[in-house]
Amino acid sequence: MMNEAEPQPIGLLEGLATTRAIRRYLPEPIPDEDLASILWHASRAPSGSNRQMFRFVVLRDGPAAQQAKALLGQCFRDGWNAKRSGDGYTQGSGAADDSPKARMARTMQHFVDHFEETPVVVLACLVRYRKPTYAEGASVYPAVQNLLLAARALGYGGVITGWHHDVEDELRELLGIPEGVAIHATIPLGRPAGRHGPVRRRPLRELVYEDRWDQDAGWAVDPPDARFTSAGPPPGSPT
């Protein structure tokens, strides 16, 4: 009989529709067997010519990991400070404490302030076998999405980030990452302090065309329980 504290099994389609960005984590480690399962499922992803040149550097509690987390934490705080100012998070609706913009700002502030406490941080890398091209991310990001879906299935959560770029040289030296290996994403992981749930996205009719650009695809309709972003119609309205 399943323990109530354990995550309930979910189907693949439910996982696809409910894997949201998680930025608040409980202060508990991810057991080795769960972490191995998450990374194994990530490694099942497709890649260019099936070369499987993606690699994962996992940062937990080792001395190099602690230094890397401290380096990333400061970098993330600097990145958020610039974004908060540049995107006007304290202006307009952001000044209203209960607005989505203000809630996002609080979540981001908590995320960067507590980055060093993140149970696991994964650097998703690519061993380059040719000159960089616009398409090389296609050999990394499917594995990243698999990683997040596997984490969701086991009751964990994470988020794809890119603020590592400002300290990439320092990370390379600290972690022994050689030249010719690209760091494509930094993925914090942990047990959510909140919960997963249905994600909000634009209505399907705004994203799918048939036969030619901007031509409506009448069959591209949302499920009746779909939830929309503020840019779309309110829940319950016709789609």
Decide if 176 is inside a domain: yes
pLDDT for res 230: 64
Output the average pLDDT for the chain. 91
Decide if 77 is inside a domain: yes
Kindly state the average pLDDT of the residues 102-111: 93
Decide if 171 is inside a domain: yes
Does the structure show a pLDDT above 70 at 235?
Answer: no
Kindly state the average pLDDT of the residues 73-99: 89
Decide if 51 is inside a domain: yes
Q: What is the pLDDT of residues 6-32, one digit of tens each?
A: 667 789 999 999 999 999 999 999 999
Provide the residue range defining the domain that includes 231: 199-239
pLDDT for res 1: 38
Calpha distance 239→236 (Å, rounded) = 9
Quick one: 157 and 223 in the same domain?
Answer: no
Quick one: 176 and 238 in the same domain?
Answer: no
Quick one: 93 and 190 in the same domain?
Answer: yes
Kind and range of the H or E element at 12? helix 12-18
Decide if 236 is inside a domain: yes
Quick one: 220 and 151 in the same domain?
Answer: no
Quick one: 183 and 223 in the same domain?
Answer: no
Quick one: 122 and 204 in the same domain?
Answer: no
pLDDT for res 28: 95
Quick one: 85 and 178 in the same domain?
Answer: yes
Find how far residue 233's CA is from the centre of its chain: 25
Q: What is the pLDDT of residues 145-177, one digit of tens each?
A: 999 999 999 999 999 999 999 999 999 999 999
Tell me the CA distances in angstroms from 83 to 55, 75, 101, 153, 160, one per residue in order.
29, 12, 13, 31, 16
Quick one: 18 and 100 in the same domain?
Answer: yes
Kind and range of the H or E element at 200? strand 200-201
Quick one: 214 and 185 in the same domain?
Answer: no
Quick one: 153 and 108 in the same domain?
Answer: yes
Quick one: 149 and 232 in the same domain?
Answer: no
Which region among 45-59, 154-168, 225-239 has the lowest average model confidence (pLDDT)?
Answer: 225-239
Pairing of strands 227-228, 200-201: parallel
Structurally, the chain folds into a number of domains equal to 2
Decide if 4 is inside a domain: no
Structure-block tokens of residue 112: 């960067």
Calpha distance 50→164 (Å, rounded) = 27
Spell 126-155 as b/e; 16+ CB within 10 A means b.
beeeeeeeeebbebbbbbbebbbbbbbbbb
Strand partners, 203: none
Structure-block tokens of residue 235: 């829940």
Decide if 133 is inside a domain: yes
CATH code (residue 79): 3.40.109.10
Task: Please name the residues in contact with 94: beta carbons below 8 A apart, sequence gap of 6 or more.
Answer: 88, 101, 102, 105
Quick one: 203 and 191 in the same domain?
Answer: no
